[in-house]
Amino acid sequence: MLAPVRSVAAPYAAMVMDARTGEVLHSRNADTRLHPASLTKMMTLYIAFQAIERGEITLDTPVRISRLAASEPPSKLGLRSGQTIALRFLIRAAAVKSANDAATAIGEAISGSEEAFARRMNRTARAMGMTNTNFHNAHGLTQSGHLSTARDMTILGRHVIYDFPQYYNLFSRRSANAGVATVRHTNRRWLDSYAGGDGIKTGYTRAAGFNLVASAQRGQERVIATVFGGSSTSARNARITELMDMGFQRAPSRATVRRPQPPEAMVAGAAMPGKTVRVSGLVSRSLRPVARPIPETLPDEEVLVAAVETDVIEAVLGEAVESALTEALATPDVPPPVATLVSTAQPAVKPRARPFTDDTVVVAAAPEPTPTITAEPQVITRISTSGGRHWGINVGRYNTRYDAERVLLKVALNEMSSLDGALRRVVQNSGGYDANFMGLSREGADLACRRLQARGTMCFMIGAEG
C-alpha cells in the first residue's frame, strides 16, 4: 500500500467553536479561502438528509450509477456504471469511507446532475451563512473555484450535528455495511484516541493538505474544531487534539444551547411548496350575539324559551318560586307546588346497600354517621401479556448514554402509535450505546421500522435478549 503523499505547500487555517452557542473560542486564518477536499461531503450528506426529511427521496430509493459517478478516482466504493444500489448504502460509504463515487451518485439522484446539485449546495451554504464558500462538485476533489474556509466548514459541521442528530452517529461508526462492501472510517485513529470524539469528516488532496472537522462531547460540553492544511495524518490529528483541548478549557461548563436556524430547503431556486404554513391574522375579539327581541304576549312555554335565549331565565324562575310560596302560605289546604317541596325537603337519606329481602321496608330516618372502613392490604399480581412480544428495534448507536436516551425519547414521541407499549432501553457495548425499543411482536417491530424508515430514521429489527 502506497504511503499518502505529504503536502507541504498547503496554507494552514484553524477554528475552534463552542457548538452549544456558536461562540468562537479560537481562530487562525479562519476566513482564508482554501481547498476543502472531502470536507465538501458534509454538505452533500446534509442535503441528502434534508431531501429525505422533505420526502424528495427515501433511504431505500434505488439509485442507478452513472458513468460519471463510476469513473470518479479514489477514495471510492468501486461502483460500476449501470449498477443499482440503495441510497442508504451510498450515504454510509460517503460518510464513513469518504467515497467519491458514492458522493457523486447521491448528488445526481437528488438533483439530476452534478451541476444542479452544486447549485443547491451553494444555495444551502448561503442560507447557513457560509459566505466564503463556493462548491462545484459533490465530492471535493480539486477544481478551480471550489473553495471554502475554516469558519464556514465549522458552521456546516455545527448544522450537521444539530439539524440531523438522528443521522449524526454515522460519522462515528468505525465501520459500516455499504451494500457491496464493508467500509472503514477514515478517521478511526483519532476517534479511538480522543475521549468523547464522535466525528465529523476528514479530507485530503495534494492542493488542500490534510483537513479535518472534528467534534467531541464531554458531559454537557461540545466543541467543534477545524484544521486546514495539515502536513500528514498524524500531524493533523495532533493539531486537532491540541485545538480540542483548548476548546474544552475555554468553553464554560454550562451554557444555554442556541441551536442554529436550519436553512429552508431549496429546489430550483425556490422553497419547497406546501411545507410552511403562515397565519395571516389573529382573532382580536369575539362579539356576543345580540339577544332576540321578545314579543309582549307569548304563551307560557314560549316565554320560557325566550327567557333562556335572553339570559333572564333566572329572574323568571325566581318570580315563579316566590309566587308559589306566597300562594301556599295563604291557602294551607292546598298542597304546595313542586317548587315548594324542593325548597323545603329534608336532606336525602342514603339507602342501604343491596341485597334487599322481600319484607325490607325503607324508613326515612336521620342520617347515621358513616362507619370508617379500614382498607385491607391488597396483593396486586401483574399478568404478563407480552406473548410473542420478543422483538425490538434499534434506532442507532451513540457515543454517550445521554445521546441515546434523547433519541429514544424523540422517536417515541414521533411514533407513539407504532411504539405504544414498547420499552426504551439503552445497551452499552464496546462501540457505544445502542438505542433500542424492546417488547414488540415481530409484526409490530417490522411495522415500526418501516414507519421510521419512511420518516428518514435509520432502523433495524433485533431479537429479544436471551
Tell me if 372 is assigned to some domain. Answer: no
| Percent of all residues in the chain with a pLDDT value above 70, rounded to a whole number | 71
What would you report as the CA-atom Rg of the chain, rounded to the nearest whole angstrom?
35
Query: Among 261-265, 317-321, 350-354, 401-405, whose mean pLDDT is lowest?
Result: 317-321
End of a domain among 225, 242, 259? 259
Give residue 136's pLDDT: 97
205 within 8 A of 35, measured Cβ to Cβ? yes
At residue 292 the predicted structure's pLDDT band, cuts being 50, 70 and 90, is low
Residue ending a domain, choose from 235, 259, 283? 259
CA distances for 107 relative to 115, 179, 400, angstroms: 9, 18, 32
- d(CA 354, CA 98) in angstroms, rounded, equals 79
Average pLDDT value for residue range 68-96: 96
One domain, residues 253 and 399: no
Please tell me the distance from the alpha carbon of residue 165 to that of residue 393, in angstroms, as a whole number.
Answer: 18
> What confidence category does residue 385 fall into, taking pLDDT thresholds of 50, 70 and 90?
very low
| Mean pLDDT calculated for residue range 270-299 | 49
Q: Are residues 399 and 255 in the same domain?
A: no
Phi and psi for 227 in degrees, rounded to 5?
A: -130, 130
Q: Confirm whether 38 is domain-assigned.
A: yes
Please give the pLDDT value at position 360: 43
Report yes or no on 375 lying in a domain. no
Boundary residue ending a domain (234, 259, 284): 259
Cell numbers given for 427: 445497551
Note the residue count of the chain: 466
Q: What percentage of the chain carries pLDDT values higher than 90?
A: 54
pLDDT in tens, 35-53: 999 999 999 999 999 999 9
142 vs 372, residue with greater confidence: 142
- Is residue 225 within 8 Å of 201, Cβ to Cβ? no
Cα–Cα dist 113/98, whole Å: 20
Q: Is 449 contained in some domain? A: yes
Residues with catalytic roles: 38, 41, 98
The residue among 349 and 342 whose pLDDT is bigger is 349
| DSSP H/E element including 410 | helix 401-414
pLDDT at 334 over 50: no
Write down the residue that cell numbers 456558536 correspond to.
22
Q: Summarize the confidence of residues 354-369 as an average pLDDT.
A: 48
Q: What pLDDT score was predicted for residue 357?
A: 46
Residue 146 lies in a domain: yes
- The domain in which residue 214 lies consists of 13-259
The 8-class DSSP code of residue 211 comes to E
pLDDT for the residue 429: 83
* 289 has a pLDDT exceeding 50: yes
**144 within domain boundaries:** yes
Query: Is residue 290 a part of any domain in this protein?
Result: no
CATH number for position 49:
3.40.710.10
CB 231 within 8 A of CB 211: no
pTM higher than 0.95 for the full model? no
Q: How far apart are CA 380 and CA 336, in angstroms?
A: 55
Relative to beta strand 221-230, strand 13-18 is: antiparallel
Confidence check: pLDDT of 27 > 60: yes
Looking at residue 456, which CATH number applies to its domain? 3.30.70.1070
C-alpha span between 196 and 257 (Å, rounded): 18
Condensed to tens digits (0 to 9), the pLDDT of residues 5-17 reads: 444 457 899 999 9
Average pLDDT, the chain: 80
Q: How many domains does the chain have?
A: 2
Query: Could you report the per-residue pLDDT of 106-128, keeping only the tens digit for each?
Result: 999 999 999 999 999 999 999 99
Query: 395 and 248, same structural domain?
Result: no
SS3 136: coil
pLDDT at 153: 98
Which whole number is the average pLDDT over 404-421?
83
Give residue 418's pLDDT band: very low, low, confident or very high (50, 70, 90).
Answer: confident
List, for residues 191-242, the tens digit of each pLDDT value: 999 999 999 999 999 999 999 999 999 999 999 999 999 999 999 999 999 9
Please report whether residue 164 resides in a domain: yes
pLDDT band at residue 452 under the 50/70/90 scheme: confident
Strand segments, DSSP code E, in 84-196 are 84-86, 175-177, 182-184
Give the whole-angstrom CA distance, residue 65 versus residue 56.
18
